[in-house]
Amino acid sequence: MIFSGLIALIVSLGSIGIYALLREDRAITIEHMHTTPAKSAVYTLDEKGNPIPLDFTKTAQKVMDAVVHIRSTQTFQSGRMPFQFRQQPDPFDDFFRQNPLDQFFNPRFFQQPNQPNKESRPQVRVGQGSGVIISEDGYIITNNHVVDGADDLEVTLADNRSYKATVVGTDPSTDIALIRIKEKGLPKLAFVDSDNVKVGEWVLAVGNPFNLTSTVTAGIVSAKARNINILRDQFAVESFIQTDAAINPGNSGGALVNLEGGLIGINTAIASPTGTYSGYGFAVPTNLVQKIVEDLMKYGVVQRGVLGIMIRTVDGNLQREEGLDVTQGVYVDSLLENSAAEIGGIRKGDVIVSIDGQEVKTSPELQEIIARHRPGDQVRLTVHRSGKIKDFDITLNNREGNTSLVKKEHKEVLSVLGAEMETLAKDKAQKLDIPGGVQVTKLYAGKLRKSSNMQEGFIITKVDGKPVTSVEEFVRMLEGKEGGVMLEGMYENLPGEYYYAFGL
């Protein structure tokens, strides 16, 4: 017993001594690190294959000032636009809303125009989006669905300066719009050749998701030439760059840039079961955007060359079904009569494999390349036909079947009004039993939407009581005018006369 007690005493004293020793030698040091250790350990490759540190900070600083926040306000009359339930979800409805939580609590609905009603109460809907400055004098690219139907557009820069914007033009076929603010010396982004963008390369998405301004996210290019069937236009062109950089509601119209800060795409849509980021974002490539912008600035309308063919992407099933010699390319399913392709020698069953030497493997690739051309342009198609390769030089037509270009003169007064107009055709004027008029074909953010209940299709017959029969005459009557203006006119399918007043 005495021996056992002695051993226990020795063990206890030893434990206390060891604990005291450890306690005396123990030192806690809080170290502050001024750099991230992983920063120098993360590398990518430059064009020559040399490893370089991967750093997004310089790119983010370079591009953020050129991406703007767009606030779109739409006023409508509750009495004339009844809400009806939409059976299918609208991808843009999720992508472009004021409050992202709306999608979890409110049913989807759309507005269906009806007869204008002066006594109905106005309702206001506000949307948020993004835009990219492309010139020092205030031209900004965004999405058509950001500005479509807006009565008022407010652009806020990264330094919090705010401006009212006017719409220069839109292209629903690609969901691109060009707007402008009155300012000089603005920061801008430069376009890069989107054909050179490679799957797997790093990209940054810059925009204003959930109204969180100047947000930057990083990812890679996941795929190219994606068609997701999201655009509702009859002549839609979808050849999106797909990225896994986080894109959310409010990013519409924002920038997708490479690590050099060059613009490679305009963020447009997401694929998501919830309406928020799920890893799939889509951007319109800049090579297509640049052509649209040039057309809108030069002609006032997009000039689109067409082949006049119905096409399908070649896959294994189509190859077996048609007995084709190739497994990649674009199959010509049918041709319109007297189309550019038919006149140029293309036949049903041909497989287009390149355009002007540029390889095409899918229908979206072909659509994008052709959409970069205007009526009258010539392209060389290389096709597989019965085991042989043939080249055909095709002169592209417009949608009417000829090579004419359409030009809409830019009038400052029409920009202020926010409208596109055309002189009423003589046969239509005779049918309506009027000497002539000016028909409103499109309304954007401007005086007419903001100050009146005017609908697209309205035919202006008088300005301040004086008859008007052409767009040129209408413009002359309003140029230099100040104060109130009264427009008198009619709608084709509605009885009675209508009057709309606004101030200049």
- Residues belonging to the active site: 145, 175, 252
The span from the CA of 220 to the CA of 201, in Å, is 5
CA-based nearest residue to 54, from 38, 70, 65 = 38
Residue 471: strand, helix, or coil: helix
CB crowding 426-456: b at 16 or more within 10 Å, else e: eeebeebebebbbbbeebbbbbbbebbbbbe
Query: With 0-12 CB in 10 A as exposed, 13-18 as middle and 19+ as buried, what is 336?
Result: middle
Q: What is the 3-state secondary structure (H, E, C) of 244-309?
A: CCCCCCCCCCCEEECCCCCEEEEEEEECCCCCCCCCCEEEEEHHHHHHHHHHHHHCCCCCCCECCE
The first and second tokens of residue 372, run together, are 């970069």
Q: Which residues contact 49 (CB under 8 A, 6 or more apart)?
A: none
- At residue 19, the 3 state secondary structure works out as helix
Question: 19 phi and psi, to 5 degrees?
Answer: -60, -45
SS3 content of the chain, % helix, strand, coil (to 5): 25, 35, 45
Measure the CA–CA gap between 63 and 56, rounded to whole angstroms.
Answer: 11
Question: Quick one: DSSP state of residue 369?
Answer: H
- Half-sphere exposure of residue 475, counting CA atoms within 13 Å on the CB side? 16
Q: Which amino acid is at 268?
A: T
DSSP state, 41? G
C-alpha angle 272-445-231 in degrees, rounded to nearest 5: 30
The first and second tokens of residue 427, run together, are 């046969």
Specify the DSSP class assigned to residue 194.
Answer: G
Task: Give φ, ψ of 66 to 5 degrees.
Answer: -95, 0
- Range 129-167 burial, b when 16+ CB lie within 10 A, else e: bbbbbbeeebbbbbbbbbbbbbbbbbbbbbeeeebebbb
Task: From 406, 422, 415, 398, select the one nearest 470 (Cα to Cα).
Answer: 422
Helix or strand holding residue 171 (H, E): strand 166-171
Residue with tokens 């979890």: 104
